[in-house]
Structure 1
Amino acid sequence: MPADILFTPIKLGALDLPNRIVMPALTRMRAGPGGVPTALNAEYYAQRASAGLNITEATAISVQGHGYPNMPGIHSAAQVAGWGAVTDAAHERGGRIVQQIVHHGRWSHSSYNTDGSLPVAPSAITPPGHTYTAQSTQVPFETPRALEASELPSIIDSFRQAARNAIEAGFDAVEVHGANGFLLDQFLQDGSNQRTDDYGGSIENRSRLLLEVMDGISNDIGSDRVGVRLSPHGNLGGLSDSATLPHFSYVIAELSKRRLAYLHLIEPRASSAGIADDASVDSANNASLFRRMFVGPVITAGGYTATSGVEAISSGLADAVAFGRMFIANPDLVERIRLSAPLNRFDRATSYGGGARGYIDYPRFMELADVE
């Protein structure tokens, strides 16, 4: 199937994209001390500026929001300045760049907090598995502290300030990370949210924090510069929901009313998600389940190839497609798809942490052609 449809322009809110090939947020763990982006990060994003939309790795909204070593933040002046160099580099090469903002919630660890306090969550439920401390040591997850209702306005304010900081740093928009088992997702799903106040219990209550975050950010920077990422049926971090379809149908319908720049859905087949306890749901079905509930552009992500991406857009399941590992290994992915050129192989061993190797040294297709 011809890939021409991937190269048709599209408008996502205030953003005009020359193509529908999106680089999603990809954890790389290469920020400098203090979560400050460096020249290495600027080169990485600039190399991939030909993407219709370039979304940064998940970036912490506060000290409390950090959750893995060498994770960038957007809550200090130095971080804003560091990201400013990144956005300048991407824009100089003609790119459009969006910052994904996140709070890790129970996925964090006390070592990230200057006072050694426990990570926070909707409820004091220990996630399964292990995490990494700020010193890169793997340890079991701690039991988080349940947030008091009186603390939630501060969480919302931190998201709002992070969004304003992102715009100050030169980003074209922000993407709120409401997926993959992080704090906002922890509030959404009843396997991790057992609260009995206005932020727990009913579907409407569990959705409240996400919607208040979206409303606050939209008020500050304009809804046409705000996107959101969700992962229905995802079970990363031990999350689960007893009624995924009606719950996320409500959430997405409410988000649709806000006239956001876009909705970014992760398919359950992606490696960062899994099928929850709902055998009736096909492993590649989120776009088809929820697309009709959102009035606005939809980005779909999760194990796509160029061929399956074309099919997703052609069938109306999505308006743009995100390619993760393919973009890590192929900084010139847009041109490779255009030319039907072979792809570099993704090297998982160099994916997380480190320096230039496996980050900015993947060869471009024309470089390989010159060698041959």
Structure 2
Amino acid sequence: MVSSQARGSIVISVDAMGGDRGPATVVAGLVLAMREHSDLHVILHGDEAQIAPVLAREPALKGRVTLRHAERIVTMEDKPSQVMRHGQGTSMWAAIDSVKDGAATVAVSCGNTGALMAVSMLRLRKLPGVNRPAIACFWPSRSEAGWSVMLDVGADIKADAEDLVQYAVMGAAYASNALALERPKVGLLNVGTEEHKGRTELKEAHELLTALVAGGQAGFDYAGFVEGSDLPSARVNVIVTDGFTGNIALKTGEGTAKLVGDFLREAFTAGILSRFAALLALNSLKRLQKRIDPRRVNGGVFLGLNGAVVKSHGSADATGVSAAVGLAYRLARSEFTQRLAARVASFAPAGQDAAAVGPADTKTGAGSDPAR
């Protein structure tokens, strides 16, 4: 249970060792996050010899961070199957176990995505009714909320029709909670908007979603098939796809945002007149930079587990870590896991004992590192 030190606080469990930049960056991110959330408390897992001196230099964290020593680290090269068998004693495993044991509400890690999903499934198990968990991320858009939710972005490279419908249900629940949308609009990503296009599982999912929404119990609207150009549009709030396609779209979007930023920087530093123009447009440029900065919406959420897990980008800086921890805080504050479980249960087939669908289920494909 939560310690008396943290009683009344929102407690988040954080893996300090998984990121490319080391525990000092994670601690710097915690400093930023705790400035925003006065009731945030963190259980920090990792090598005490490395972390304790860094924590000692941050008086703002005193009394708000509990350090728990973990001797071992899950590297980006470790295979998920190996971590499932031999991962005990690692900071990642310990971070997940804090959620399993009830000491924390949400876990955050910058580490190996495939291993994190595998350990999360092993220790937390899937929600009743869920075949494949999914990773959901935010996508900048012209929608009323300013962002859309896309899933799956890499938990599993495959998804059949029933899985895609579950993604729609979970994604809509996440969008309702995270984006304060009463009735999100869901779209199914395809190579075109015409009903005759796409793979068999997409067509089947389209029919199932159409029937589900027509029944009046879905809690979301279905916009039908959408294509790549619709991702940033106001047409949908939730984009549903398999993890293979979603991960490619995610990384393409990140790369394009960086390219646009680089082009703007080159254009406004090309000469004296360009630099003068940049000064005149400085406020507008800062607003644009903030709008497309992927660090500020860093954090993919694992949906479909008996506990909340946030996957931070592996190369996240302090701003990115702060965003992931802030997302975890909001999930904990809103009791999102309980809400999602109730939503999924309302769509589960009668008599299904999904608790028996364990982490060894061959339908999971947590073998990639998509969010790194």
Give me the TM-score of the superposition, normalised by structure 2.
Answer: 0.29
Give me the TM-score of the superposition, normalised by structure 1.
Answer: 0.29
> Taking CA–CA contacts closer than 8 Å with sequence separation of 6 or more, which of the two structures ends up with the larger relative contact order?
2
Specify which structure has the higher proportion of helix: 2
Higher-Rg structure is 2
